[in-house]
Structure 1
Amino acid sequence: MSKKDEFFAHIEKGYTTKGDYVSMGAAMLEGETITNALVKIPLKTLNRHGLIAGATGTGKTKTLQVLAENLSDKGIPVMLMDLKGDLSGLAKPSPGHPKIDERHEKIGFPFTAKEFPVEILSLSEQEGVKLRATVSEFGPVLLSRILDLSVTQEGIVAVIFKYCDDHKLPLLDLKDFKKVLQYSTGEGKKEFEDNYGRIATSSTGAILRKIIELEQQGADLFFGEKSFDVSDLTRIDENGRGIISILRLTDIQDRPKLFSTFMLSLLAEVYATFPEQGDSDRPELILFIDEAHLIFKEASKALLDQIESIVKLIRSKGIGLYFVTQNPTDVPDAVLSQLGLKVQHALRAFTAKDRKAIKLTAENYPISEYYDTKEVLTSLGIGEALISALDEKGRPTPLAATLLRAPMSRMDILTQKELKEVIDNSRLVQKYNETIDRESAYEILNEKIEKAEEKAKEEESRSSEKSRTTSSRRRSTRQNPVVKVLTSATFIRGVLGILRKAMK
């Protein structure tokens, strides 16, 4: 048996699956594509999370697109974080190209052009379905993690939430939270001290500054009503295909705090609301986080711990998380260790630091008798990648340098007219795009303070009136100065008369 035949048998055995799967492409050996040596990822292992990594321009976004398309075709909903703005083309079919046909001929199956059901979401003022969450839903622990607060400050946040619960004050947006925070050391200082203990103004001031920092990154647009229901991410269209929800983030690339705030909120909400699935045959929802380094780069240790915990636990809910970034070292080791699928595009070795990173990356992949992993990592072409996955029994599959299939949808963005058409046809726009500002903690406390001020003015007015009345009475009992002089003179005369009589 030739080396090529041995390799074909090696791949075929390692990627055999009895259940449904996603085909990524065909394996390569020594730069040659082995037709029909298909690299298949079982659907039941896709909730084990994954990584798509590689240098700029090597095809990461197209790999993400291929996975999203195939999952949608299998009836699995997908959510994509689109920071570069180049994923909207999923809504239109590929125009095709002779090079795409040539690629698929090498892989071993024909190319089909398709469009996919797409929902455009937005965190900011960009067009799309608005994603929001209330401060109450966020909760004291998550809010404290995002703000990177000290233990003392976390305690104050917990007290603020407790006070609002006790007094039925809805915490909907950040102005509600700021109002209660200011009230705790201002007009309501005595009320708080009597019921919850003393709160230092220095601590509330520090918390307030961090909230303002969050607001400056656009969080005031995120916190509020109407809250987004995460079950709307799991919709299926009339043809049985999973809806692909694309969150446009092109205008918040320089606001990582807002991005990580949203991501943590979303993951926490999904984990809290989705039922346990265990090891099911297919995932419930797959989330792709593009430019994942933005989450981890600016995250505090507390926030990283929170993300790591959710990544470990959310798999049992049937949720798969896929991180897309340039280098695997952008993702913390504790998260990398939880990943089942790794798609590694080419890395470039321009510096000593790059070479060190390539060496570390190569060590994260299974040893293969067919590849020098370090060498392959620097020689992969565009649309080629090293793949390591899990088989149906959770065992690592053979390492495969893979010629990846082409996306079935357009590999370009939608025009403004096409984008508007997609948004106008959305069923969720009317549900979520109305801005609601109902009575909440801000308005209720303002009203309470106004009433207290009016009462204080009335009491002050009554006190002043009483003071004037008392003063008037005092003046009426005083002697007239003339009478006072005459009385004094009469008294003196009387005394002198008595003394004279005594002397006689």
Structure 2
Amino acid sequence: MLEDGKLFIGASRNPDETINKGEYLELKFGNRHGLVTGATGTGKTVTLQVLAEGFSRAGVPVFCADVKGDLSGIAAVGEAKDFLLKRAEQIGFSDYDVEQFPVIFWDLYGEKGHRVRTTMSEMGPLLLSRLMNASDAQEGVLNIAFKIADEGGLPLLDLKDLRALLTYMGENASALSAKFGFISKASVGSIQRELLILEQQGAEHFFGEPALKISDIMRVTNDDRGVISVLAADKLMMNPRLYGTFLLWLLSELFEELPEVGDPEKPRLVFFFDEAHLLFNDAPKMLLERVEQVVRLIRSKGVGVYFVTQNPLDVPETVLAQLGNRVQHALRAYTPREQKAVKTAAETFRANPAFDCATAITALGTGEALVSTLEGKGAPSMVERTLIRPPSARVGPLTDEERRANLAKSPVAGLYDEDYDRESAYEILAKRAEKATEAAEVAREAASDDAAPAPGTASTRWTLPGFGREEAEAPARAGTAGRPRSSGYQRETIAEAAMKTVARTVASSLGRALVRGILGSLKR
């Protein structure tokens, strides 16, 4: 039943329950994207595993999220259980056998897989705004912050780098607004608070170095099997905005880094986005446009994107139109919204005169789905009621010991597990602030020395920069010659003069203005 150049999904059934034919996904259309939907418990995760196994066998690397923790079993040899053997026999799958697949585990928190990081600069202001649910004004401030960082040679790597830059912007909002546009101190403060919330939710684990290399999720083994990268997402799901933003960032990185390859014989990478509704919930228009752009254009990079979600209505129509390969598991139709979802799902398929699609969707059993894939010259096949083939790897999670053993022999072991904190915006600004503090102290001491009168004299002339002869002799003209000023007044005047001198010294460029902002914040 297996065919070269095709991924075996299952076998379709006739209305009389007899087997009709095998259902396949042609590898040359694997980069045309897809959708797997269905209610909870209908078999979406097993279908995802079947597709991932098929792509891996064909030498295609796979990236997928393990939301519930039970997808990790793909790294272990499966068990020939009775229900799996029965399904294989039912669909005439005589070649069925158990096996395991090459897997690399990843985890943003570094607990169940290798650490996944990116830098603030790579994330960019748009995705960062999405992560913080920023308003338009706050997003504008973030765009200005990244612009200042680029012009000032200030690498933004982690949370503390962005905090240091925002502190400077808040202290110098008036001066910077003249060059970059209005900077609201209130918006700066709001962003600082959002950064604190992100830190409490664990986002500090995500921002930093070493950053993930795209090549490490596009590996192929020596026996030409695609490596399956599994992201541990059970804990990550507690912060759904971070989950959605991370996966969108990863898609964007793939889009920006990979070269154009047109339509290859098989994809270079297949990306499964489980719980896809988390990407689109409350997403601003600009972000949705970004998703649509990436999904539409990343096909020519050889990357296939497969959204996995409960309801087809979770995916915007502009994105849904790009998904050519469809697997629809059972949906319930108890509420008006569910009834609308059933109708929407049925209308997206190429009709089959043998059965009513909408009726079939509500009557599908577990492990059964309506399947339509691209064929021929790229046209969708007629929808078929299909029994999904049994997976070859384990159905269920790995034990902790098995996971640790996998991590120990991983090809990326030791590459991402330790933090690396090189000099970036925070350290650069701190050094400049320290130098500015030293310069202020030197100026203050020099001012004190020049202002002290020689023994036995009553001179009232200063030599501090910024004070002219007229200002120095003003007390004498007022009839105060020979009478020294009070020590309190003298200290105040010297301090003011010193700070004015320092201000004139550091105000010659934006970089020096940046130092002044940090100095002000450190004094507080």
User: Common fold, TM-score beyond 0.5?
Assistant: yes
TM-score range, shorter chain: 0.7 to 0.9
Q: 1:304 deviation in Å?
A: 1.8
Match in the other structure for 2:122: 137
Q: Distance in 1 between matches of 2:27 and 2:204?
A: 38
Partner-residue secondary structure (3-state), 2:24 = strand
Q: For 2:61, give the aligned amino acid.
A: P
Match in the other structure for 1:275: 259
Q: 1:195 deviation in Å?
A: 5.8
**Cα deviation code 1:408-435 (max 9, x no counterpart):** 0000111111010001111212111121
- TM-score w.r.t. the length of structure 2 is 0.83
Q: 1:407 deviation in Å?
A: 0.5
Q: 1:255 deviation in Å?
A: 0.5
Q: 1:194 deviation in Å?
A: 7.4
Q: How does 1:390-401 map to 2 (within 5 A)?
A: 390-401=374-385
Aligned length: 463
**Cα deviation code 1:232-267 (max 9, x no counterpart):** 111111211000000001102120121122112101
Q: Distance in 2 between matches of 1:305 and 1:319?
A: 19
Match in the other structure for 1:300: 284
Match in the other structure for 2:475: none
Q: Distance in 1 between matches of 2:177 and 2:310?
A: 51
Q: For 2:146, give the aligned amino acid.
A: F
Q: 1:149 deviation in Å?
A: 4.3
Judge conservation of contact 2:131–2:242 (CA < 8 Å) in 1: no
The partner residue of 2:355 within 371, 374, 380 is 371
Judge conservation of contact 1:116–1:409 (CA < 8 Å) in 2: yes
Judge conservation of contact 1:257–1:298 (CA < 8 Å) in 2: no
Q: Does residue 326 in structure 1 map to residue 310 in structure 2?
A: yes
**Cα deviation code 1:129-187 (max 9, x no counterpart):** 1111111222344434544545554443333223323332221112101111111232x
Q: Distance in 2 between matches of 1:471 and 1:302?
A: 73
Judge conservation of contact 1:144–1:154 (CA < 8 Å) in 2: yes
Q: Does residue 181 in structure 1 map to residue 171 in structure 2?
A: no
The partner residue of 1:128 within 94, 106, 113 is 113
Judge conservation of contact 2:174–2:183 (CA < 8 Å) in 1: no
Q: CA 1:210–1:194 in 2, change beyond 3 Å: closer, same or farther?
A: same
Q: Does residue 113 in structure 1 map to residue 98 in structure 2?
A: yes
Q: Distance in 1 between matches of 2:444 and 2:436?
A: 12
Partner-residue secondary structure (3-state), 2:376 = coil
Q: 1:454 deviation in Å?
A: 2.4
Q: For 1:137, give the aligned amino acid.
A: E
The farther-off stretch of 427-436 and 60-69 is 427-436
Q: Distance in 2 between matches of 1:337 and 1:193?
A: 43
Q: How does 1:307-386 map to 2 (within 5 A)?
A: 307-386=291-370
Q: Distance in 1 between matches of 2:151 and 2:210?
A: 23
Q: Distance in 2 between matches of 1:247 and 1:38?
A: 31
The partner residue of 2:63 within 79, 99, 116 is 79
Q: Distance in 2 between matches of 1:471 and 1:329?
A: 89
RMSD: 2.5
- TM-score w.r.t. the length of structure 1 is 0.86
Partner-residue secondary structure (3-state), 1:87 = helix
**Cα deviation code 1:441-468 (max 9, x no counterpart):** 1011011112212222332333344444
Match in the other structure for 1:170: 155
The partner residue of 2:431 within 443, 447, 457 is 447
Judge conservation of contact 2:458–2:483 (CA < 8 Å) in 1: no
Q: Does residue 54 in structure 1 map to residue 26 in structure 2?
A: no
**Cα deviation code 1:95-136 (max 9, x no counterpart):** 112332222122122221010001001111423111111112
**Cα deviation code 1:337-388 (max 9, x no counterpart):** 1101110111122334322322222222222201111111111111100011
Partner-residue secondary structure (3-state), 1:286 = strand
Q: Distance in 2 between matches of 1:392 and 1:182?
A: 59
Q: Distance in 1 between matches of 2:129 and 2:107?
A: 24
Q: CA 1:168–1:364 in 2, change beyond 3 Å: closer, same or farther?
A: same
The farther-off stretch of 156-165 and 441-450 is 156-165
Match in the other structure for 1:95: 79
Q: CA 1:479–1:456 in 2, change beyond 3 Å: closer, same or farther?
A: closer
